[in-house]
Amino acid sequence: MGIRVFPTPIAGLLVVEPKVFEDARGYFMESYQQKEYADAGIDVGFVQDNQARSVCGTLRGLHFQKKHPQAKLVRALQGRVFDVAVDLRGGSETFGRWHGEFLDAGSHRQFFVPAGFAHGYLVLSETAVFAYKCSDFYHPEDEGGLLWSDPGVGIRWPLEGLGEPLLSQKDQKLPKLADLDFKY
């Protein structure tokens, strides 16, 4: 079928554009095909698929698992989001740096986030349905997180016109990077 993979400024983070066949009836695409993704450098065994629906201004993240790190392949099934990954890999030249990608249902673009990153997203459309594949199972006791607004990381969230983001109580209390007692 054919996918195109584009590197980002942070090693391991990749943008994926699947081949989409469109005609008057709609479109068809393979959203994931193990061999093709492995050939493109995304050789990960995914074990769990997650899906979330959120309203405009919702910010989910930045999350990670400590002992069971998850690689993720993420995409917007409906609407538009700004998706962010922060490098938490100890010894990485880009430790603490972030990269963001706009993902929307119309482009079908995907964002591959390898294990070793904190991950989160902001909903920019009226609603969004967000889907992601994970390389390990969710372990609630293993959860970690990073404060979305940490000035030490300096994520430039596109909040213009949205006001303050809608956050869970848990996400409002996450630590800053300098206060994390953890790195991969």
- Catalytic residue numbers read 63, 132
Centre a 10 Å sphere on the Cβ of residue 157 and count the other Cβ atoms it contains.
17
Quote the CA–CA distance of 35 and 42 in Å, as a whole number: 9
Quote the CA–CA distance of 48 and 26 in Å, as a whole number: 28
